[in-house]
A and B are shown apart, each in its own frame.
Chain A
């Protein structure tokens, strides 16, 4: 298309120019897109895709549908008030026989056992003792004889509730909630309601570690930013060396330092300060100390870069105008470091939320964070639905907090471009 071809009666002459500009702009945008496309695709396939797939598992509930199809169909019209009718029993009997033949019973049993403890035994014992399809009209009696659980309404509501294809079961469980026999959402049994307190614990530990990092890191960053280059470089190496050291090595070093016959306790004992060793590890204190040490560089580096940019002339000007040092610091220096404080705190906090190795090695049984449970359900008990539901809740809470944080500090540069 040339400029000559678009000469309308009232078309001002700059239109073609505008168009040309637009076209040039678009070409440039395409070029930019082509440059980031490989990374974008890579992230999509290796990061966004798997995360979406994992999140999907928290609502996906197709096992029982696939393994007990006739039962699920027969229960579709059941109101859940009394026991289901004979046809549901007959459907279950033939499903169980088919599942036993194909060896898939264990998968359905596992899923139903999450909702009703003991369901594994109910299904396996029934499968073992059911010899053939019961005579028409006797299925209810036969199954009830094999296992009295089939005479309970709860057994059947559990199957109906697990009929899928989607479920809220895992997400509710991650928030300590269950559906009762009548389908109402109620609090989980007291001895099984742990996840809310684990989430709270995770956030409290992360917040304490962030606060400790800020208190310890701020003076260090200030020193780094204000010392002459030669000496600040030397100090910088002290910050970076641990940063480059393996997390596992640093965590184990803390075990050596803090254990009851460790360096710290022995020194205190030798100085006569204590008679009995202090408990510094395998508790909350140890977790906070080790995690703070591991995450400190993530606080110091953003602080340092924001402080580097502050001209010392400002403080001199404040002093010459008569501000006492504290006032000058609070009103001139501190506000200018806010972006660094924001970036460092957000970085440390979000990294701390997902910590696994450090609390696992230096924490007690009451200091395990949510990551421990996600790992436990992923690898040990293979309850992937619950693992991904816990992950989903953590992800959501983190995103909400980051947004809230962005609102509070009201700075685009602070939230890494996250707008509110």
Chain B
């Protein structure tokens, strides 16, 4: 996502700032203040302003302000436990949603006030939050440079069929899933296989086959640059980045949706928010298919309402993660698995890389 670019420094600074403001315990708590919505900033928040924030202010006649943040469960902890939460609604990533839910940082989501659970796609429904956008790691390549278009991860690992280097995100997350799918594991079974030691061995064995041809990227901005400079023939990449490169830089990049890995960002209401009613009104507004479809027209993210996709032009829909054809064979990144195994597998991944 866009926020990856700003990344670490911002996160740390924000953490300090949050700790400071929480420590200062400003006396705004308890006083009436306007609804405050927090999202990821950048082009994404501009789109949200246009299709959600401004129209909501007009439609509901409620004042609200929006801020941006950089992620990090520590920031939310400081906000809630400092007893002076100045935020009401925050958009969080899936691991922040899971951990914050376990720690009781969020209000339980009352779906009866936002159109009912049945209105949303199943991965978007969570006891502590509601999905806002859905985005993918896809296989990206440059249509102008490849003679044969790849069909999926198996081709990604086949350097005979399609010569050239491959880009993957440094670290075990997403890399091991991709290796297993390339080795013939069906998308729906990936985490079942990965939960066993044999499965992990199998993934690393598959990675061994193209080890010397992998270029490891670290930030979301890198893969399009690797493709553009012809450093790699194919790479794993966020779907939104491919879209942006095609629209703004006149590139001709292609995506393979088969075996893509998707994840969601969700809206949560911070525990103890004094503006719960206004927050639910906003979520109801932002959950409506007619509003959500406008977001996808502005930025290439899928949205959470079941009926939003149907309202889009076919030309827009075909590049969205939520298009029926695109999500058919996609796997949701398993948050629980990675919360439990990230440290151990990071060590193992680095051991393997250094060999």
Contact = CB atoms under 8 A, between A and B. Distances in A.
Given A117-B344, A192-B344, A364-B216, A261 B231 contact: yes
B113 interface: no
14 contacts: A109-B102, A110-B339, A113-B340, A117-B341, A120-B339, A124-B102, A192-B347, A194-B350, A368-B170, A373-B350, A375-B8, A378-B12, A380-B342, A382-B73
B220 interface: no
B7, B165, B215: most-surrounded residue (chain A CB, <10 A): B215
Nearest to B230: A261
A121 B195 CA distance: 12
Interface in B219-254: 229-231
B351 interface: yes
B20 interface: no
A27 interface: no
Contacts of A192: 344, 347-348, 351
A377 B105 CA distance: 22
A114 interface: yes
B252 to A, nearest CB: 17
The 10 closest A-B pairs by CB, nearest first: A103-B104, A365-B353, A106-B102, A192-B347, A120-B340, A365-B216, A261-B230, A191-B348, A366-B354, A366-B353
Contacts of B165: 260
Interface residues of B, number: 38
Contacts of A85: none
Contact of A261 (B102, B215, B229, B347): B229
B353 to A, nearest CB: 4
A382 B231 contact: no
A160 B70 CA distance: 37
Interface string A241-277: 0000000000000000001111000000000000000
A320 interface: no
Interface string A362-382: 001110100001011111111
Nearest to B175: A365
B99 interface: yes
Nearest to A119: B340
Contact of B103 (A106, A124, A365): A106
Contacts of A375: 8
Interface in B192-224: 214-216, 218
Nearest to A198: B350
Contacts of B102: 103, 105-106, 109, 124
Contacts of A378: 8, 12
A226 interface: no
Interface in A340-377: 360-361, 364-366, 368, 373, 375-377
Given A105-B102, A259-B231, A366-B354, A382 B348 contact: no
B133 to A, nearest CB: 21
Given A192-B347, A197-B354, A260-B231, A379 B103 contact: no
Contacts of B218: 360-361
Nearest to B16: A50
A104 interface: yes
Given A194-B351, A282-B215, A259 B103 contact: no
Contacts of A124: 102
A383 interface: yes
Interface in A78-105: 102-105
Contacts, number: 91
B272 interface: no
Contacts of B99: 106
Contacts of B214: 365
A201 B351 CA distance: 13
Given A124-B102, A373-B350, 20 more contacts: A102-B104, A103-B104, A103-B105, A104-B103, A105-B102, A106-B99, A110-B339, A114-B343, A117-B341, A120-B340, A190-B351, A194-B347, A194-B351, A261-B229, A365-B349, A365-B354, A376-B171, A379-B11, A381-B343, A382-B74
Contacts of A106: 99, 102-103
B65 interface: no
A368 B229 CA distance: 23
B74, B343, B352: most-surrounded residue (chain A CB, <10 A): B343
A106 B102 CA distance: 6
B346 interface: yes
Nearest to A192: B347
B55 interface: no
B72 interface: yes
A205 B123 CA distance: 45
A368 B218 CA distance: 11
A102 B74 CA distance: 18
A104, A114, A365, A379: most-surrounded residue (chain B CB, <10 A): A365
A193 interface: yes
Contact of B346 (A102, A121, A376): A376
Interface string B49-74: 00000000000000000000000111
A283 to B, nearest CB: 10
Contacts of B216: 282, 364-365
A118 interface: yes
Contacts of B230: 260-261
A166 interface: no
A375 B8 CA distance: 8
A383 B342 CA distance: 11
